[in-house]
Amino acid sequence: MLLEEFNSMPATEAGDAVRPCVDIDAWVAGVVDGRPYAGLADLLGQADALARTWTPAQVEQALADHPRIGERHAGSGTSAQMSGSEQAGVDPHDADVQRRLAEGNAAYEERFDRIYLVRAAGRSAEEILALLEERLANDPDTELAVTAGQLREIALLRLEGLVS
């Protein structure tokens, strides 16, 4: 959609449009309430600033709308479509990659009690696996901060793809 369209939408519609970027109520409301935006850079700047205030609970809540790396999103809406295109670098038919992702996801979930989230867009399966292995060495607080940063990157990329 064009930025002008986003700026002029009713608040409820604008919220529904940006929620697939990240399912955090305060972020959605803040992005919508910041309208009108003079340009895309202003929109992305506001979205980034809001994302940097996410609490651990908000990050954990938002993870519920993300599939494991290497798996398909359970839904069928905009968020599922975005997730599918973001994970295009992970070949679902590569048995070795799928096995390594399944093992890595299981180890990550056992260690941190949440799914492994990484900005997959623009990354190969090997890059995603290397980051997974690297992040398994993080302490819980560091890893939560890294996860929040990855979630922020995903949200901003999705928003940029949504609004032009």
State which residues form the domain around 131: 3-162
% of the chain with per-residue pLDDT over 90: 72
What radius of gyration, in Å, describes the C-alpha atoms of the chain?
16
Query: At CA 148, angle to CA 143 and CA 154, rounded to 5?
Result: 125
pLDDT at 86 over 60: no
Handedness of CA 14, 28, 72, 131 (dihedral sign): positive
Query: If you average pLDDT over residues 87-104, what whole number do you get?
Result: 78
CATH classification at residue 130: 1.10.3330.10
Q: Which ranges constitute the DSSP H helices of 19-117?
A: 25-33, 40-51, 56-63, 78-86, 95-112
pLDDT in tens, 103-140: 999 999 999 999 999 998 888 888 999 999 999 999 99
* C-alpha to C-alpha distance for 158 and 155, rounded to whole angstroms: 5
SS (H, E, C) 89-149: CCCCCCHHHHHHHHHHHHHHHHHHCCCCCCCCCCCCHHHHHHHHHHHCCCCHHHHHHHHHH
pLDDT in tens, 32-82: 999 999 999 999 999 999 999 999 999 999 998 888 887 665 555 555 455
The letter for the amino acid at 89 is G
Give the residue with greater pLDDT, 98 vs 70.
98
Q: What is the pLDDT of residue 71?
A: 67
Contact by Cβ (8 Å): 28, 15 = yes
Q: What is the pLDDT of residue 141?
A: 96
In the chain, the number of structural domains is 1
* C-alpha to C-alpha distance for 101 and 87, rounded to whole angstroms: 12
Structure pTM? 0.87
Q: What is the pLDDT of residue 87?
A: 54
